[in-house]
Amino acid sequence: MGTTRRADMFTADGKPSDDDPREHGPRLGDERTTLVDALRRQRLTLEIKCAGLDAEQMARRSVEPSTMSLLGIVRHLAEMERATFRKLMSGQDVPRLFCSDIDRDGDFDGAVPDPQVVAEAWDAWRAEVDFATRFVAAAPSLDITGDDPWNQHGSGGGPMSLREVLVGSIEEYARHMGHVDLLRERIDGRMGQ
């Protein structure tokens, strides 16, 4: 029989625990409560998986030719939050955080092992998460729409409801949490839930 690696998980026994901030959220809630909590748990997972790492570890690339790193994912998700909630849903005319027309992959390309770059990425991500959280809480319903004329958010080129945006954001985080799992395990063997 093979050995288990449960000791390398983020909780000692690999099971939900009282100290896991993703547990014990609202249950049997309405649609908004359910979607908001699912997104909250994905965001917390990102923070948990990146906790305790230095700048070099955060910027460590996966495998060539990929430029993927934990830091790049934090920067990418900050861009996603900004484009989705500030631009698409609230209609703000704000510049991109890390990417540009010249460097469309600036979120990953600029993820270098510098403590200042890491701090700026987390500050940007937290600011965008805070904006999105306040925006969703203040929205009169999940039926409000934002316009996606260039199909940058998967609308097919048209209006998107806040409901669709929340589901899309959960999907985006969930996809990247698989990457985060593999990147973190490669750094120090920690795996987990």
Task: Kindly report the CATH number assigned to the domain that includes residue 38.
Answer: 1.20.120.450
Domain assignment present for residue 181? The answer is: yes
Domain assignment present for residue 11? The answer is: no
Domain count, the chain: 1
Domain assignment present for residue 13? The answer is: no
Domain assignment present for residue 23? The answer is: no
- CA atoms lying within 13 Å on the CB side of residue 109: 9
Query: pLDDT by residue (tens digit) across 134-183?
Result: 999 999 999 999 987 666 666 667 789 999 999 999 999 999 999 999 99
Domain assignment present for residue 85? The answer is: yes
Sign of CA dihedral 105, 107, 111, 114: positive
Domain assignment present for residue 122? The answer is: yes
pLDDT at residue 28, as a whole number: 66
**Global pTM?**
0.85
Q: Which domain holds residue 121?
A: 32-188
For range 106-125, the mean pLDDT:
96
pLDDT at residue 20, as a whole number: 57
SS3 call for 147: strand
